[in-house]
Amino acid sequence: MLTVILTILLFMILVIPHEFGHFITAKLCGVQVNEFSVGMGPSLFHKQKGETQ
């Protein structure tokens, strides 16, 4: 069970900065970003900041 939890945490540590890089690149290139999210499925947490949810 601990291995599964550590694997998920490690995966998130890799994925979140990767996706944030896409977000920053889009903003720098003038592309409107409607939503920044990691994963699929229903939203567990959301926050609106400017034009991006």
**Which residues carry out catalysis?**
19
Residue 38 in tokens:
């990691």
Q: To 10 degrees, the CA torsion angle through 23, 10, 8, 48?
A: -30
Three-state DSSP state, 49: strand
